[in-house]
Amino acid sequence: MQSLRHSDSEVAELSVSAWFYRNRTIAGFDNPARSLYVSVRELVENSLDACESARVLPEVHVSLQHLKTDFSEAEGVPKGPQVFGLRIQDNGSGIRKEDAPRLLGRMLTSTRFTLKQSRGTFGLGGSLALLYGQITTQRPIEITTGRIGEESKHRIVMRLDIENNEPVLVHEEQQPKDPREHGTTIEYYLQGDWFRSKRRITEYFLQTSMIVPYASMRFDNPDGESLQLTRIIETLPQQPKEAKPHPRGIDVEMLKKMIKESRRRTLKLFLRGSFQRVGESTAKKFLASTGLDPAAAPKSLSNENLVHMMKKLEAYSGFLAPSSKSLSPAGLDVLEAGIRRLGPEFVVVRQRPPSVYEGHPFIVEIGAAYGGELTPATRLYRFANRIPLLYDERTDVSSQVIRELNLKNYGLRQDDPLAFFVHICSTKIPYKTVGKEFIGDIDVIRREIDLGLKDCLRRLGEDVRRKRRVHQQERRETRLVGYYEFIAETLGKATDQEVSLTNLLGN
C-alpha cells in the first residue's frame, strides 16, 4: 500500500491584489480593448459616486491620449495594443489626503461596504484599473485631490505593491487652490486597443448620459475628437440611506459576526437592534417558533443553535419586506429626460413597486420609446444602479424577457423604431460575473421586468395606434380631396363652366 506524504514544496499565500493580478480576466481585463473600456468605466463611476455623495451636479472630464502610435502602413490604422495616458477629473467631494493612497491603492478597500445602493460592488474596480495600468506600462499613478472649503489640494505620486496589496508613495506635496474648488484628478498610463474599443467607450458615455442626465461630461479621445454631453436636468436622485440587514439576507457566518459585534444582552434585543423592520412583536413571535429562549445571551448559542436559528430565519413568513430607503432609483422624470436624448416621438416610463431578492430590496424602472429619430429596429438599453451594461446582452435576463414578448398584442412590429430601457437598482445586483456586465435570470426579477415592460407596451401601443388612425384619416381625406378635384374638373369640362371644389361639396 502506497503511503501518503506531504509535498516538499513551500506553502504560498497570495494577497488579494496578487490574486486579482493573476486572475484579472474575471473582472473584464481579458484583452487590451475591453481592458481600456473597463478602466474608463470604473473610474468614471467612482467620479459620479463622489459627486452624488457630495450632492453636487457632476462635472466629469475624461481625456484619453496616445502616448505612442504605431500605424499600419497598409491600413492606416493603429496596429495592436498601444500605451495611453488616461486622465479623469471630477468636482466631487475630494478625498482626505491620508485616505487617498489606501482607497485607490489597495484592493477591497472602499467607503461603500454598507447596506445601501452604490455603483461599486466589490471595492476593487478602480484599484484594479490602476493595477492594470501599472502591470502593462510600469509607470506610476498621479492623484490630485482637494476637499470643499480647504485652501490647498494634495498631490501624490504612487505605485502599487502587488504582492502586499499596499500603496507605495513616490512623492507627495501640497498645492494651493481656491476654497471653492473641489474634486479629484487621477492620471496614469495603461495599455489598450483604441481602434477596437472606440465604439464601446463612446457608447458608454452616451448611455451614461441617459441614466445620469443631471451630469455634464466631456470625453477627449485619441483621435482628437471631443464628445460633450451637457446636463439636461438639474435634479439629483435621492440619496440612499444605510440599512440594517434583513433577516432573510444573511447566512450563518454573517449571523456569527453580527452576534460577536453586538452588545445586546438577550436574543430578543439582538433581533430588534440588529435587523431592519423587526419590532417587539415580530421578535417575540419568531423566537417562539424557534424554541429558543428570548432572554438567552446571543453569545451563548452553540453552532447547532445558530444553524437552527438560521434555518428558521429563512423559513419564517412573518417578517416584513425590506425597506426601500436603502435604494436610490433614477426616478421617472430623470429616466424620461435621459430617454429623450434619443429623440423619440413617444416615451412611456414606469417604476415597479419595491420587491425582494434574497432579503435585498430592489426596484425595476422601465422605459419604452417609439418613432422620431429611432432607427427601424428593436433595441435594448440595460442599466444597473445607474451603470450602463454593454456586454453579454443576449445572456441578460432583460434580453430574455424581451425575446418572449409578443409585440403584435400591442399593435407593434419587430421592425418598428422601438427602444426598451431597463434599470434595476438594489443593494445586491445579481451580476453573473465580477465584470458587472449582465444580470442573472432570477425569477422575481424576471417577473418585475416582464410586468413593467407589458405595462409600458400597453400605453405605447395606444399612442402608436392613435397616431396610425390619425395618419389613416389624413390619407383618406387626401384621397377624397383628390377625387373631388377630379370630379370638379370633369364637370367643368362637360358643362363649359368653372366648377370649384367648394361649389361641388356645397351642392
Q: Is pLDDT of 112 > 50?
A: no
The confidence band for 13, taking pLDDT boundaries of 50, 70 and 90, is low
Same domain, yes or no: 210 and 252: no
Number of domains in the chain: 3
Q: Is pLDDT of 123 > 60?
A: no
Tell me the residue range of the domain where 261 lies: 247-315
pLDDT, tens only, 459-500:
999 988 888 776 666 677 667 667 666 776 776 677 766 666
CB distance 329 to 237 below 8 Å: yes
Determine the Cα–Cα distance for residues 425 and 336; give it in Å rounded to an integer: 16
> To the nearest whole percent, how much of the chain has pLDDT over 90?
56
pLDDT for the residue 495: 73
Q: Is pLDDT of 73 > 60?
A: no
Q: Does residue 338 belong to any structural domain of this protein?
A: yes
pLDDT for the residue 2: 47
CATH at 117: 3.30.565.10
pLDDT for the residue 227: 97
Q: Does residue 504 belong to any structural domain of this protein?
A: no
- For residue 360, what are the contacts with CB-CB under 8 A and spacing of at least 6? 246, 249, 322, 426, 427, 428
Determine the Cα–Cα distance for residues 406 and 136; give it in Å rounded to an integer: 48
Same domain, yes or no: 257 and 208: no
Same domain, yes or no: 283 and 336: no
Same domain, yes or no: 37 and 169: yes
Phi–psi pair at 462, nearest 5 degrees: -60, -45
The confidence band for 48, taking pLDDT boundaries of 50, 70 and 90, is very high
CATH at 431: 3.30.230.10
Q: Is pLDDT of 3 > 50?
A: no
Same domain, yes or no: 337 and 287: no
Q: Is pLDDT of 335 > 90?
A: yes
Same domain, yes or no: 208 and 66: yes
Same domain, yes or no: 209 and 120: yes
DSSP one-letter code for 300: G
| Bridging pattern class, strands 183-192 and 166-176 | unpaired
Last residue of a domain, one of 174, 201, 229: 229
Mean pLDDT of the chain: 86
Q: Is pLDDT of 507 > 60?
A: no
Question: How many residues can be counted in the chain?
Answer: 507
Phi–psi pair at 461, nearest 5 degrees: -60, -40
Q: Does residue 238 belong to any structural domain of this protein?
A: no
pLDDT for the residue 1: 45
Q: Does residue 497 belong to any structural domain of this protein?
A: no
pLDDT, tens only, 337-381:
999 999 999 999 999 999 988 888 999 999 999 999 999 988 999
pLDDT for the residue 122: 52
399-416 mean pLDDT: 92
Q: Does residue 486 belong to any structural domain of this protein?
A: no
Q: What is the DSSP string of 380-394?
A: EEEEETTEE--S-GG
pLDDT, tens only, 182-210:
999 999 999 999 999 999 999 999 999 99
249-260 mean pLDDT: 88
183 forms bridges with which residues in the sheet?
Answer: 146
Q: Does residue 178 belong to any structural domain of this protein?
A: yes
Q: Does residue 385 belong to any structural domain of this protein?
A: yes
Same domain, yes or no: 266 and 215: no
Percentages of the chain per state (helix, strand, coil), in multiples of 5? 40, 20, 40
Same domain, yes or no: 140 and 259: no
13-17 mean pLDDT: 66
Same domain, yes or no: 217 and 258: no
Last residue of a domain, one of 229, 262, 294: 229
Q: Does residue 53 belong to any structural domain of this protein?
A: yes
390-418 mean pLDDT: 92
Same domain, yes or no: 284 and 222: no
pLDDT for the residue 70: 52
CATH at 310: 1.10.8.50
Highest mean predicted confidence (pLDDT) among 214-228, 292-306, 460-474: 214-228
Same domain, yes or no: 346 and 294: no
pLDDT for the residue 432: 82
pLDDT for the residue 81: 79
Q: Is pLDDT of 409 > 60?
A: yes
Determine the Cα–Cα distance for residues 389 and 399; give it in Å rounded to an integer: 12
